[in-house]
Structures are given as C-alpha cells and as structure tokens.
Chain A
Amino acid sequence: MRPAPTAIGAEPLPPGALGIETVGMTMRFGNFTALEDVSLRVSPGTFHALLGENGAGKSTLVKCIMGFYHATAGQLLVGGREIEIADPRDARALSMGMVYQHFTLVPSLTVAENLVISRADAPGIIDWGKELEELEAFMASMPFRVPLEQPVNRLAAGEKQKLEILKQLYLGSRFVILDEPTSVLTPDEADEVLGHVRGLCTAGEISVLMITHKFREVTAFADEVSVLRKGRLVGQGKVADLTHEQMAEMMIGVEKEYRPVERSGSPGKLVLELENVRATDRSGLKEIALDNLTVRAGEIVGIAGISGNGQMELMEILTGQRSTSAGQIRVEGEPYKATRAESQAHSVRYLPEEPLRNACAPRMSVIENIAFRSFDRNADQQRFWLTPAEMKRRGNELISAFKVKVAEPEGPIAALSGGNVQRAVLARELTGDVRLLIISNPCFGLDFAAVAEIRARIVAARNAGAGVLLMSEDLDEIMELSDRILVMSDGRINFEVAAQNATLAEIGHHMGGHA
C-alpha cells in the first residue's frame, strides 16, 4: 500500500478522531454549479449533520471530500492540514470512510468476504477459519449483526445498510460520512445504530458527518448542523440552539404549510384477495405464508414490519416476479397472475422497492420509462406504431407535474437521483385509472417536502376509489396513511388492527415477532 499523502515534511496525523474542514468548496459540471463556496468544519469527535433537500448538493460535497470528484475550487483540511485527495484510495489511507446512499457492497460475495476484502491490509492468502473467528468476535461486540455466510445479494435493504455501517467500524475509520444511514432501519434500530455511532464520537474515536432528512435524528444525536440549499451553505450552528422549525426554514427557504388531503368515502368492494398463498423466501429456506389478505376499494391497507420479514417477497409475488407454490390471488374477483394484460384490465399499478431495479429499464430514457404503461395503447386499443412526439409531450407533462428534477428527459433514467427515479415511476403509475395500487417504501430516501407530496398523492388515489396496499418500514408512514394496519413477521401476517385503534407499542410488539 502506498503511504498516505501528506504535505512534505508534515508530521503524521494525530491519533483518534479526525477533524476535517472544507474551505470555499465549489464544484461545477459544465455550466451547472452543484456546489458553491461551501465551508464547513467537523471538529474531532463531533457528530455533524448535513441537511438539505434532494439535489441540494450534499452528495456532491461529500464526494468532493472523499475524492470521487475533484472540486473546481476550494481546499480540504484533514486533521488541520491541507491535503489534496486525488481518489478514494487516498481518503481510505487517511482513515476516512463513507457509507453511501447507493450500496457499495459486492452483491455476489458473502458478508464475510465483503468485510475482509474491504480491509486495506487483507492478507494475500486468506485463512478463512481464523478470519471467520475474528469476524464472529467483532460481530459479537457490535450492537447489531448480519449473518456472515450470507451472500450480500440475499440481504434486504435494511440488513445491507447495517452491514455498510459495520464495515466502516470494522475498517477502523476515524472520520465517517454517513449518507442517510437510517432510511431503511426501524426507529428502534436507527436509535440503536446512531446511539452506538454517537458513543464512538463521544469516546473520541471517530468524527461523523451525516447526511439526513430526519430532524429527530439531528436533534437526538448531532452536535452541529449545516444546511445546504441549491448548492449553497444557508445555515450552520449548534443543534442545541436550533429548533426543527428553524432547520426546516433553512432547508426549504420559505416556510411551506403542508395541508394533508382529507380522506373521504368508505371501503367498497374487494379489489385484492390473497388466499392461502405460499412461496419460498429469497434465501429459499423459509416459507412465505399468506392465508388471507384483502384490500377493498377506497382503503389503504398498511403492512408494517421489520425489513426482511417477507415484505419484499410479497411485493414480488404481487408483481409476478416470484412464483407461488400454492394458493390463489384474485383481483376484482378474477384470478390474477400479474400479466400486463391483467394489470391493464384491472388498472393495477405498482411502485416496488428500489424502483430503478424493479420498475425501470435503467438505460432507457426518462421519457421512455414514463411511457411504459401507455406506449402501446391508443385509448382502449392496442397500437403497433409508436408516436414518439406524443410520448415526449406526455413525458414532459408528467415530469413537470410530478416535479421530477431531470437535466435531460431523453437521457437514461439511471442518471437520476433516487428520489427523482421514485417520482418518475410514481408519475407513470398514478396517471390514468388506478383501481389497485401496490406500493413498497414509497418515500425511501426522499426529503420531507417530497414525502408529504407523495403521501398526499397516495391518499388522493384512495379517495378516488383505489384500493391501496402499502408496505413500509417507516411506521410513521403506516400510521399516517393506513385505514387498516397489518403486521408482517417471519413471512406471515400476525396482527391486524383498524388504524384508529392502533397503538405504536402494540404494533412494535408484533413486529418483533410476538404473537
């Protein structure tokens, strides 16, 4: 390994938590300024929160710090001295680590392999017996654990996020950037993880810069906060001195009053029925068993549960991505196999988890992706010849109606940020007649303005008479939106309650697997 880049003649960096500072950091992509003159300081052993809406420049800033981008202007100080970070390898050598919003684990490698190979001093020949023993010991000292022998592509999002954080701790990073680390964790898990991270800060072992949308976490765990808006630093201060309202004001500029859409009407006829459905889970070892699950028109049925308890599989069953071994699915009384013709006939719409992977053709354009439901339809007729002009007009209309931030509508949808992919898919799925809407974690990784807007659209669809099945790991979301709440645990639905009678304690109890 090559030595850490330091200024000539400089002393080695001090031990313990590492402080970093950016001075006038500016990043331009062509004509577009993603980051302008941002100066912030993370003192050693502090927990610094970075707030901002989608596209505010938070990711750009941390990528400049970590050496993925080379800032157009500005300096970076690490441990009090100016350092040029040419690539992420340099950052690593300085014991700076990052947990990314997009997972950076290697999908086909096991958890243990991912951890060992991420180490800079991974031995040339790996003695797996010894490594596994050491990893077991490391896992045992952590507040949460992930199965070591499981390939990463079999882990649910929540488990992957835990592993990403574990990896940084395992690598002994002394400055860690967390990019929305808790969006896939339950509130308890989030508190546990952040509490542990916070503890490491207080002990002077690491400094943390955390990108987040959740004010609650900022207040509970961070020492200081910086707020970005449209690439500029618009506010900074000690968390103790700031209220949620002040932070929100900095983030969105003018205070926006969000009025929730009133719900109206009462549940109508059955739109979705699952009867004795059986399937295997993603590991192929456990069974998903849904004896009786129904959704009526004009109601939102929320499915709560800790990630990895069968929600992903349920979604896959409903979208036709996973085959069932027994049972029946009926939509509006007719057997349903999730073919395109059937979903068209019954107006079934989906927003799956990780929409870029499950609901988009990543390399096709945003316009084309938005046209997936309609490109071959001409009113109720099939069409053979496409009408690109019409597709483009409609696409652009939806892009602006759903406020998808997109630089190039004809460019690949994979170039969009996670939140904007989500909006683009929602634009497609919520347009036209919707009689059954099946959604999974619709607000994963979105900022709070976008969250409010998307939730309002879901409630609007319900009020217009659609049946909605909402799977979410965010309990607040379930509580806020649902008419009826089900809890999924260990591949089964083990609890059902009407929303007005639901209590967080009771739902949490059943999420934990207690009958």
Chain B
Amino acid sequence: MESDLGLWAIPLAVIGGAIRVSTPILFVSLGETLTERSGRINLGLEGTLVFGAMAAYATAVLSGSPWLGVLVGALCGAVFGLIHGVICSIPKVNDIAIGIAMMLLGTGLAFYFGKPFIQPVAPDLPAIPLGWWSDLPQVQAALNVNVLFVIGLIAALALAWALRATRPGLILRVVGDSTDAARAMGLRPAMIRTMATAIGGAFAGIGGSYLSLYYPGSWNEGISSGQGLMAVALVIFARWSPINCFWAALLFGGAGALGPALQSVGVTQGYYLFYAAPYILTLGVLIATSSTSRALTGAPGELSITK
C-alpha cells in the first residue's frame, strides 16, 4: 500500500487498531471483572467468546440481522456462564478447573456447529463514520467506530458507577470480598456468584459477536487467537476496575496494531518483534504499577488466585 502520510501513518494506524481490536477484549474483560468481583474466576471466557462469535454469525447468516446475532451471542454467553456458575456452586468444585473445561467445551462446540457457516457471508454490524471531517481515507478508516465499541465504553462507565453507588454493585463486592460477611448479612453468595458469572458470560458473547460480525468480520476457527484468555489476564492488569479495563483494552489493541503499521510504512526488519508489543507492554506496566509492600490492591478477597 502506498502511503502519502509518511510516519504519521503509524500513530493513526495505532489509534485505528486500538478502536477496532479493543472491543472484544473490552467486553470480555468487563464480563470477567464482574465475575471476579463476585469472587469467582471464569477462565472459560475464551470458549464463550468463540462460541458467541459462531452463534452470532450463524444467526446473522440465517436471519439477515446482525443485531439478532449479537443478541443470540449474548444469550449463548449467558448460558455458558450459568453452567459454569452452577457447577462451581457445588462444594469443593474448583472454578479454575471448570473454567478450562468450559473453554475447551466452548471452542469445541463452536467448531462443530460452525462448520457450515465458514463459507456463507453474514451482514456486518454498522459503524459510525467519525472521520467524516477528513478527506484522508486513512483517517476515515481509523475513525470508523463500531456501535459496539461505544456500547462497551458506556458499559464500562455504567459498571464502574454501579459497583460504587448501587445496592447490587455493593452486594457483589461484599460477596467477592468475604463470604463470611455476606452470609452474616443474609446474602446467598453462591447464587450471586452464579448470576455474576452468567452476566459476565453474556458480555463475552457480545465480544464474540463483534469478532465475527465486524472485525475481522467472518467466522473461522482461528478467529479469537487467544483474545479471550488475554482479556482475563487484563482484568488483573486493570486491577478489577471497569474504567481501567477500557484503557487496558485500548492499550492492548493499539499495541497490537503497531506491527502491521510498521510493516505498512516499509519497515521490513524486525516488525515481527512488534507483534509481541502488547504482551511486553502488559508485562512492563504490571511491573511498573506493582508494589512490593502491598498485595494486589483491589483484588477481591474471595478470589481463588489471590487467596
């Protein structure tokens, strides 16, 4: 591709990439934040993401409506979350082990049911052309913002507010921080955690529908390339805060666009190294923001990985 922007193409591509790539990661990490704040960890969201992508794509192909696809993706995600939540409510069941099993189940089922939908083309989700003011096609392309990205941003803000200033939000934090305190308060921790996991699953399902219905915008078996797992890790990086999840997802998406952007401006050597940028960046920020004298701040007390 011939570029007439010179080095400006790099930040532009990074911004565009950040907006485009971050949405599924944002949704999965928001869902996982919700689940982890309740004291459970759901590693199965990678499977939920892939299954959500398949279900949304299949629905869109069959019905012709991408939004119906998103809805079905969310519903499937909620069902996966519900299964995880219910199984984990049985005493002495380990949520991490169940999560891994659910991940394999989700991807396996998605591949099985998804075979007939690799060929057909589904309608895309609409995007808002926020780059209308510019004549440059690159700017227009970078600022073509999908509706789900906007919904994700609103969801992050709403979640952050709900955790701070609503009764359900506070109850979720109580359950996530101390089972004993929750019981003493007359709450039912297992039920609340199951609900949180189901809603978290729905978020991941929506993330999946973005993958197959907008970017990359088709259904195939390599569609997620581990983004679901990465998003779960990002929750720790974001210190269980929905707003931080948004920034973390943007950062991760932007860093991921660095490799292709460098390649496009003619850097031919070592750009593969930049494909690792998101991971290196994540590691770097984690180390920089951690403290030797304190435990992970904000970690829910009942979480099995921090207990």
Interface residues of A (CB under 8 A from B): 68, 87-89, 91-92, 98, 100, 102, 104-109, 113, 116-118, 120, 122-128, 322-323
Contacts and interface: CB of A to CB of B under 8 A. Distances in A.
Nearest to A363: B307
9 contacts: A104-B180, A105-B181, A106-B182, A108-B298, A117-B171, A123-B167, A125-B165, A128-B164, A323-B292
B170 interface: yes
B186 A100 contact: no
Given A126-B167, A322-B293, A104 B186 contact: no
B186 A88 contact: yes
A104 B301 CA distance: 13
Nearest to A102: B180
Interface of B: 164-168, 170-171, 173-174, 177-178, 180-186, 292-293, 298, 300-301
Contacts of B184: 88, 98, 100, 104
A208 B155 CA distance: 46
Contacts of B168: 124
B176 to A, nearest CB: 9
Q: 4 tightest CB-CB pairs across the interface, nearest first?
A: A89-B186, A104-B184, A117-B170, A104-B181
A124 B167 contact: yes
B174 A117 contact: yes
Interface centre among A106, A118, A122 (most CB of B within 10 A): A106
Contact of B173 (A68, A108, A120): A108
A92 B186 contact: yes
Given A89-B186, A104-B181, A118-B185, A109 B166 contact: no
Contacts of A124: 166-168
B291 to A, nearest CB: 11
A206 B300 CA distance: 35
Contact of A106 (B165, B167, B174, B298): B174
B178 A107 contact: yes
A211 B165 CA distance: 36
Contacts of A91: 186
Contact of A128 (B165, B167, B174, B183): B165
Contacts of A118: 185
A323 B166 CA distance: 38
A108 B301 contact: yes
Contact of A126 (B166, B177, B185, B292): B166
B186 A122 contact: no
Given A122-B170, A124-B166, A125-B166, A106 B186 contact: no
B180 A113 contact: no
Contacts of A128: 164-165
A126 B164 CA distance: 8
A100 to B, nearest CB: 7
A113 B180 CA distance: 17
Nearest to A118: B185
Given A88-B184, A105-B181, A106-B173, 19 more contacts: A88-B186, A89-B186, A104-B181, A106-B174, A106-B177, A106-B178, A106-B181, A106-B182, A107-B177, A107-B301, A108-B173, A108-B300, A109-B177, A113-B170, A124-B166, A124-B167, A125-B167, A126-B165, A323-B293
B180 A108 contact: no
Nearest to B171: A117
Contacts of A116: 170
Nearest to B299: A108
A88 B184 CA distance: 6
A109 B165 CA distance: 12
Contacts of A108: 173, 177, 298, 300-301
A105 B298 CA distance: 16
B180 A126 contact: no
A127 B164 CA distance: 10
Contact of B186 (A87, A109, A113, A323): A87
